[in-house]
Amino acid sequence: MFIAQLKSGRKINLLDGYSRSYLKNLQEQAGFYCPQCKSEVRVRAGTKLLWHFAHTPGKKECVASSESHYHLLGKKLLFEQALQSSEQAVLEPYFPRIGQRPDLWIPPHDIVEFQCSPLKPERFIERTNGYVQENLIPHWILGKKRLKPLSTSIFQVNAFDWLAARMSSSHFPFLTYFCPEEKQFYLLSRMISLSSTRVFGHLSTIPLTHFSFLKIVYSPPPLQRGLQFSSSTWLHKKKQWRLHAFKQKTSAHYLLKKAFLNQGSYLSLFPSEAGMPVPYSFTFSEATYVWQSFILLYCVLPCAIGHPIALREVCRTIELLIERRLLTPRLLPLLKKVTYRHACAAYLELLVACGILNRQGDQYMKQKNPTLPQTMNEAIVADYKLMEYSVKHGVNVLFSGKM
């Protein structure tokens, strides 16, 4: 941390340019203390790392007790850039009512946290809720070292990084990363969940000098008309789901295997209408073929043709599966208004586009049954035809780019 205080309450900011000798004398005569936990800290004024205050051993419970050089440099650069936008920007402010000290505060409401190492989900949520309690808006910026591109359009995003996701005006989640060494922001936008840890995404960069803290949440590049992901990559992934479905040992897969057997089929031969890309699928931790197969098996197939299927009943079915820990809604503390119900609604609309359902007002009428493939080759051919149809007709925003 850069700021400590004396017993008198006076704050010392190491970015203010104090000399090494002055700090040494002040430490010997008065001592430095952490504004948060009140324990004594020591100034570290070496030649290799940024000057900073460090807690004495045994004070691990304080959030400020361990910060890497990468994090300190990032915090310093973000603060200096924030001052270009707002002279009121505050470095390491302490909010006593919630006992939290973020990296930056841009009054009146914006909080910036530069997070390089993972936090436990409950700790992340606790800190986020604390800021909200103080009528503050937290903006979590991740260290660029956490950005893991697997190709030009596919990225690995783990459960912790998802905690920092925000929603753009185009209804796609996005993540913001910052590299203090490159002095550049990386915006991972148009994120489409491919699996529990893989997403399609669009990566753009913003130089630090072009970043305005008056507009912390940048609008990602506008959607282009047409396909928002690689259909061939999705089909390859869907083929892998089929080939490896029998190996999966989770309770959800066990239940799906049993349900498909009751239909005279196998999990690896799930209908092509399952495992399809739909908006808001990121609200589930599971791959799309898992939760979509549950909807087909429990809500669509048992319903007689010509009979209604209500969205609320579909959501209730999913809710029961969640209560039984067979499905897992993804933790998205910054997107509280977005839930798995949005994904369920989007999926029913996809089934309308595929001719399985017909929408009439607030309910859906069943038109026909989804087809259960008889062989793996038949399933793969059907997957290709359905994807081709969906691309041609732009069945949802992921296929058309049209909001």
Label residue 197 exposed, middle or buried (CB < 10 Å: 0-12, 13-18, 19+).
middle
Which positions ≥6 away from 89 have C-beta within 8 Å? 79, 82, 83, 104, 105, 106, 107, 213
Alpha helix ranges (H) inside 105-190: 121-133, 159-163
How much is the pLDDT for 42? Answer: 82
Give the DSSP per-residue string, 227-276: -SS-HHHHHHHHHHHHHHGGG--SHHHHHHHHHHHHTT--GGG--TTSS-
> Are 292 and 318 spatial neighbours (Cβ–Cβ below 8 Å)?
no
CA distance 74 to 358: 53
* Cβ neighbours around 355 below 10 Å, total: 12
Exposure string of 319-350, with b = 16+ CB inside 10 Å and e = fewer, is bebeeeebbbbbbbbbbeebebbbbbbbbbbb
Nearest CA among 75, 102, 87, 86 for reference residue 14: 75
Q: What percent of the chain has pLDDT over 90?
A: 70
Q: What average pLDDT does the chain have?
A: 90
- Amino acid present at 119: L
Residue 58 pLDDT exceeds 70: no
How much is the pLDDT for 61? Answer: 56
Residue 47 pLDDT exceeds 70: no
HSE of 389, CA atoms in CB hemisphere, 13 A: 14
CA distance 276 to 299: 17
Sorted by where each begins, the domain ranges of the chain are 1-63, 67-222, 231-400
Coil/strand/helix, residue 382: helix
How much is the pLDDT for 46? Answer: 73
User: What mean pLDDT do residues 362-369 have?
Assistant: 94
CA distance 332 to 125: 9
How much is the pLDDT for 400? Answer: 84
Q: Higher model confidence: residue 178 or residue 40?
A: 178
Assign 31 a pLDDT band (cuts: 50, 70, 90). confident
Assign 59 a pLDDT band (cuts: 50, 70, 90). low
How much is the pLDDT for 65? Answer: 55
CA distance 206 to 189: 13
Tell me the residue ranges of DSSP E strands in 34-109.
Answer: 40-44, 52-55, 90-91, 104-106
User: What mean pLDDT do residues 267-294 have?
Assistant: 97
The model's pTM:
0.88
User: What mean pLDDT do residues 208-232 have?
Assistant: 77
CA distance 179 to 186: 8
Residue 60 pLDDT exceeds 60: no
User: What mean pLDDT do residues 189-198 have?
Assistant: 91
Q: What is the pLDDT of residues 78-89, one digit of tens each?
A: 999 999 888 899
Q: What is the pLDDT of residues 287-308, one digit of tens each?
A: 999 999 999 999 999 999 999 9
Alpha helix ranges (H) inside 269-372: 288-295, 311-323, 340-353
